[in-house]
Structure 1
Amino acid sequence: MTTLNLIAIRDGENNGGFYSPAKEKASIRGPYQHRFHIFWRLRRIAKLKFFLLVFCALCGVVLFSSRISSSFGWNVHSPSSAFSPSRGGYTVLMNTWKRNSLLKQSVAHYASCRGTDAIHVVWSESDRPSDSLKTYLRKKVMAKSRAALKPNFKFDVNEEDNLNNRFKPIKDLRTDAIFSVDDDVIVPCDALDFAFTTWQTAPSSMVGFVPRMHWLSEKKDTHASYYYGGWWSVWWTGSYSMVLSKAAFFHRKYLDMYTNQMPASIRDYVTRERNCEDIAMSLLVANATAAPPIWVKGKIHEIGSYGISSLQDHSSKRHKCLNDFVSLYGNIPLVSTNVKAVDARNEWFW
């Protein structure tokens, strides 16, 4: 008897069928239930039509605005025009170190960006790049480039391992713009193009994707101590005073200034500590311009699994570098700002 209660109740008076409470409830409702079902379906169809009308209206607004903008001389797809031969492009200056697989990925990617006029790989390993690696990368550049004038590709081979090598002057450059990047950093081409356009509005500034901050930690008499803040400091305070050269544009004149005009004591420091060449470059540009850098909002992808920044004492070394450089300068040339460049075409609200 109890097992029947788990499934259904046997009804001997109704042709030996099974009695179902749910079926009885539905039969009692009769035609009213059917009417409710029809109403519910009509309501769904009405909602669907409403959303389709809204979608069509939005598409119409976008189409109308694009036609209006073109009629007034505006072109919302103009970044490609920034790379006409008369305006030039940029030179990708890529620092690498014993990561040929990452180097191959990065070179292939930046060769596909329309603004790339040349790619220079800063090579500081004891063994020179192999002929097979050179041949592979040259073929990859030719295959990936979408420009009529293919980018120049070259290894800048150095005799010693030194982080200062990444900022040595380069002969026969065809561009004023240098895009300094690490071999494990990928910046999408559209974001790179926008950053280049931003740099063209302020070619003496550093324009980059990785902001950092400094602030006064303590001051005793004439001695001041500064704190180097990473990404979370930028996010928390909403301000920054540096953009790192692992992904940044700057004018080629700063290569000469870094190598030949910046105090030799700073280059010696970088050589000895094997760190902080990016802070040194930020200080150099800030000292020359008395202006802040420009942070470009954009996603970048780090394809490597490790680096200097992953070391345990990385932050403490950066604090020390900053304060040692400031003491060599005699002041703090960095200028803080809370302004960033954003491509409004990629924003829903602006």
Structure 2
Amino acid sequence: MSSRFFPHDIIQTDAVLSLDEDTVLSTNEVDFSFIVWHSFPDRIVGYPARSHYWDNSKGRWGYTSKWTNEFSMVLTGASFYHRQVLLYIPRNICHLIYKWYYHYLYTHYLPTSLHSMVDHMANCEDILMNFLVSAVTKLPPIKVTQKKQYKETMMQQGSKTSRWADPDHFAQRQACMNSFSSWFGFMPLLHSQMRLDPVLFKDQVSILRKKYRDIERL
């Protein structure tokens, strides 16, 4: 799972479109999210949003996929992010600027223990990338217009169903939240209520006046 974010030299574009094998997006959805990403190139921009919360009764962080006004993660199953990030390191006289790939930071900055955890469970690589990007930018991701119900298609692979059908999948993601925050030493995820929609989205005007018509029908 961690190899998904390996810094391959073949990646030359600034934007990286990350998709799961069972993601279904229209060309309008891809085009619109790419346009939005241009305005927020340092953040993860995409569709399936999730959130975190502090569970007082259990004394630990929780993970939720419930639809609310707030979110703190945009999963990499359908999102854009920049292939590199600028890190400003202050020094006595001048500021040093380093360019690092998000892929490079994921592969070489994060410890082997977290990579092993992700690979062993075949889960949580998307959460870990959100932790990393939010820790670097100190900003939440950007959510864009999405279907009323985002469904991860249950793909059949022989006699096995996809990982989304595994009853332990959600429990594993809860455990990941706490392991990741423990390594970072704090909770880097930040909540946001901002969602960006196309101009005239859901407005009572002719569909012919709207650029992203397919999104309107989803």
TM band (smaller chain):
0.7 to 0.9
TM-score by length of 2: 0.77
Compute the displacement of 1:185 (Å).
0.8
Q: Which of structures 1 and 2 has the bigger CA Rg?
A: 1
Residue 64 of structure 2 aligns with an amino acid whose one-letter code is G
Task: Indicate the residue corresponding to 1:183 in structure 2.
Answer: 21
Compute the displacement of 1:272 (Å).
2.3
Unaligned regions of 5+ residues in structure 1, if any? 1-162
- 2:75 pairs with 1:227: no
**In 2, Cα distance between equivalents of 1:172 and 1:184:** 24
Residue 205 of structure 1 aligns with an amino acid whose one-letter code is R
**In 1, Cα distance between equivalents of 2:11 and 2:60:** 40
Task: Indicate the residue corresponding to 2:55 in structure 1.
Answer: 217
Residues 123, 169 of structure 2: 8 Å contact kept? no
Residues 50, 73 of structure 2: 8 Å contact kept? yes
- 2:40 pairs with 1:202: yes
Deviations 1:170-198, CA, capped at 9 Å, x for gaps: 21333110010011112111111110011
**In 2, Cα distance between equivalents of 1:279 and 1:302:** 16
**In 1, Cα distance between equivalents of 2:63 and 2:151:** 23
Unaligned regions of 5+ residues in structure 2, if any? 84-100, 156-160, 206-218
**In 1, Cα distance between equivalents of 2:183 and 2:204:** 45
Residues 194, 343 of structure 1: 8 Å contact kept? yes
Task: Indicate the residue corresponding to 1:325 in structure 2.
Answer: 180
TM-score by length of 1: 0.49
Task: Indicate the residue corresponding to 2:87 in structure 1.
Answer: none
Give the RMSD, CA atoms, in angstroms. 2.0
**Secondary structure at the counterpart of residue 344 of structure 1:** coil
Compute the displacement of 1:349 (Å).
5.6
**Secondary structure at the counterpart of residue 185 of structure 1:** coil
Residues 76, 126 of structure 2: 8 Å contact kept? yes
Compute the displacement of 1:263 (Å).
2.5
Give runs of aligned pairs for residues 151-170 of structure 1, distance below 5 A.
163-170=1-8
Deviations 1:233-278, CA, capped at 9 Å, x for gaps: xx2x310000111111111121111111123321121122221111
Residue 204 of structure 1 aligns with an amino acid whose one-letter code is D
Change in Cα spacing, 1:320 to 1:302, as seen in structure 2 (3 Å) is closer
**In 1, Cα distance between equivalents of 2:130 and 2:36:** 18
What is the number of equivalent residue pairs in this alignment? 181
- 2:86 pairs with 1:251: no
Change in Cα spacing, 1:328 to 1:302, as seen in structure 2 (3 Å) is closer
Task: Indicate the residue corresponding to 2:171 in structure 1.
Answer: 316
Change in Cα spacing, 1:349 to 1:331, as seen in structure 2 (3 Å) is farther
Change in Cα spacing, 1:214 to 1:302, as seen in structure 2 (3 Å) is closer
* Among candidates 113, 136, 155, match of residue 288 of structure 1: 136
- 2:199 pairs with 1:344: yes
**In 1, Cα distance between equivalents of 2:30 and 2:121:** 31
* Among candidates 307, 311, 323, match of residue 162 of structure 2: 307
**In 1, Cα distance between equivalents of 2:133 and 2:114:** 14
Residue 189 of structure 1 aligns with an amino acid whose one-letter code is T
Task: Please identify, of 313-322 and 287-296, the stretch whose mean Cα deviation from structure 2 is larger.
Answer: 313-322
